[in-house]
Chain A
Amino acid sequence: MADDVLLRAQGVRKSFGAVEVLKGIDLEVRQGQVVSLIGASGSGKTTFLRCVNLLEEHDGGEILLDGDPVGYRVEGGRRRRLSETAISAQRARIGMVFQQFNLFPHLTAEENVMLGLTKVLNKPKAEAREIATHWLGRVGLAERRGHYPYQLSGGQQQRVAIARAVAMEPRLLLFDEVTSALDPELVSEVLGVMQGLAESGMTMLVVSHEMLFVREVSHHVVFMDQGRVAQAGTPEAVFGNPESERLRSFLGRFHGMFGMV
């Protein structure tokens, strides 16, 4: 058991009504690693990320961040749900970037990045603005800091959303198909930003259908199928030696598109 494990999921289960969507997920993300989740639509990738960030509550198993259970504490052998304040504090340590960007529509790019810094981390306005300027610069949007979301392209909005998430200095960043809602020509600008973050040592858990990117950037790839981890390993192993027919056929869909695997 390496002690640099940042996120450990063990036997995570989650049902919506009678439908079990996660059927016991085991997964580890080490400090500084990029772990990618791949799998067909409906296999539970989004649900898993949402459980990690407490946007959903898992029903069974455990999710540990830095060794602390996410969403509850154990008291006298029993699980007790954390208070809303404690849950908010846990969420602040995990950043999330969504498929639909979800920028606050009433705030400029800069204000979007500043909001969490001033309200959650209680930083003074001036410092928050400096941090926002820095991160908007890093994602190539220094010039657009005064723009509202509706004045930005999808790719620019997504880069602001990434800046908003990293500016909080989270321990872990979650990405849920962040390029799926983008026009094809805007995908690479966002992937470029993510690659830069990965190279700078950010710990990332990424759901993506961009197989070239996944293969190039990930330390570890997890293939999910119908609520289970069907195969996991290095990109070479998963892409080069798919064990199951389902993984082979899943990857096969990307063949023609990229001429790879």
Chain B
Amino acid sequence: MEGMRIVLAGQPNSGKSTIFNAVAGYRAGTANFPGSSVSYTLSRAMVLGREVNIVDLPGIYSLTSTDAAEREALTYLLENDPDVIVNVVDATRLGRSLELTLQLMDLGKPMVVALNMLDEARRKGIDIDDRALAASLGVPVVPTIGRRGQGLKVLFREALRAGLSQIVPASPVYDNEVERAVAQVERKLEPAWKAEPVPARFFAIKAIEGDPEVIERLRTRVPGIEVIVEQAAAGLEKAHGWTADQVVSGSRHAVAHEIEDRVAVFHRGRVGWREMADRVLLHPVTGGPLMALILFSFFYAVFGLGKHIEDPLVAMFDGLGAWVASVLPPATLAGTVAKGVVMGVSGGVAIVLPYLIPFLLGLAILEDTGYLPRMAYILDNLMHRMGLHGKSVVPLMLGYGCSVPAVMATRILESPRDRRITTALTVLIPCSARTTIIYAVVGAYMGAGWAFLVYILNLVVVGGLGTLLSSRMKGRAPGLILEIPDLRLPAAKTLLAKTWLSLREFIVIAWPLLIGSSAVLGVLEWAHGSGVVNELLSPLTVIVLGLPAVVGVTLIFGILRKELTVLMLIQAIGTTNIAAALSPAQMMTFTVFVVFYIPCVATIAVMLREVGWKDTTWISAMTVVIATVLGVAVRFAFALF
């Protein structure tokens, strides 16, 4: 079969993306929290000398979706007719994972189970007989340790074989009454079900479980089916005394745990550092202060490290700039373009990278240890006061890296209202680009304390705005329901790969943009074009914010990429020494304004896709208003004190 499509499906955090990356190269984000992938990733890969397509799906707990990320995975499975399903199972959560496996088996596709995380299972004292598991399920089972690449060759060989043979697993058999009810609905569907990729049985089960989307879908195919479904469900309820959905899922639960009991032996696991660490990290008294300490140290370490690297680099590039200016006088067109290019290059190397690299590494560590869901747990009651709940902490924290994946990550929130509010707040969080600005302007010239103040101010605004928006929107999610994965030591290789993935984005996309923009600004200056822009913006920049007129054009470039504001500023004032052009009050005003004002184009694009143009418009407009108000406030606060 040419271009066979192998789809990785499984519960969240089971290691799908890790296995995908092992064969496709690091391109799908991995992290130690449920919901690290919220969209599917497709890649071509060579498996045993054959070219295949491999698809990494977002994690799903079951085939009934509770949030947008799960919906995406589900839609993919139902609409795209995969050739093989590789069900990645976390061996330390075998019973629960099998509940999904049983549902996947009803999709009527060839299937292979990857029994992953065997190293963790061993540590926890869980022994699983993979042959017995394969026999119980009637599906090939391959033991794997995704993180070390163990077992993956065998896994994909089995997947290929399953794809070529197209042997479909037998449907699992549930409780007698459930089977009777399913058969009742299935019989009605059968005549209309010719050459469908997904068998009628799957939809019959989902309909009896009361999935409204499925019932609607069946109704258009077989009018009147909802009556039969209702009869079947009522019969189940009468026989068991529980609602039909509970009977079906309870029956699946029972079957899954029966299999687990048969194939797994639990020994006494070791109580290791993970349990000890969790005791203090989540302790009612120590948990909160420790979190503050962790975040503060993170902030300080990045700043200290960045500053150490930045200073000598800036000195060096200033020397280079002076030399270029002496060879090619800035008054000529060639000179002004050369100056622009040097500034673009040096801005990237000397100002952005020193902070960006340690920052991305630190963030990767937070993600891979599994600390993010713990923050969601600790901050849940605070978020409740804002009218959201703890899960929103995950996208917000990711926002410190980059707003684009952070806006995508709001897909893990169950209620559309929480998603909209969290999206609005996420874009206000200073992403790594804005962090560079805070560090390189306020931090470097005014001191770390002032930089810290910008973050605190930001959090206060986010908190206030969140409370305001929450009080005006209805439809709050019932509360926090979040799996807390075990703590894990991050693998150095993954950390580096992940940092590199974000860094490459900067180098390939942002940097050329920086250099190009610098050259454009050079030409603009030479032609006195930037003066016109500055003039037009001066009511805002000069009169309202009290900044020098030269910042005008930098704010326009900043919409492309936030880093551009500082880099363009340096170029406009002709030196990397920002203190030469801005007073401390102006630095603070400028930084605060830039942190809050309009999201960059990439963020606007992703917002348009995720929340639609209406929300995108009011959120963007709101950021400009907030930025202006705060900018003025900072200006006058400095004037007064």
**A is bound by B:** no
> Measuring CB to CB, which residues of chain A are less than 8 angstroms from any residue of chain B?
none
> Measuring CB to CB, which residues of chain B are less than 8 angstroms from any residue of chain A?
none
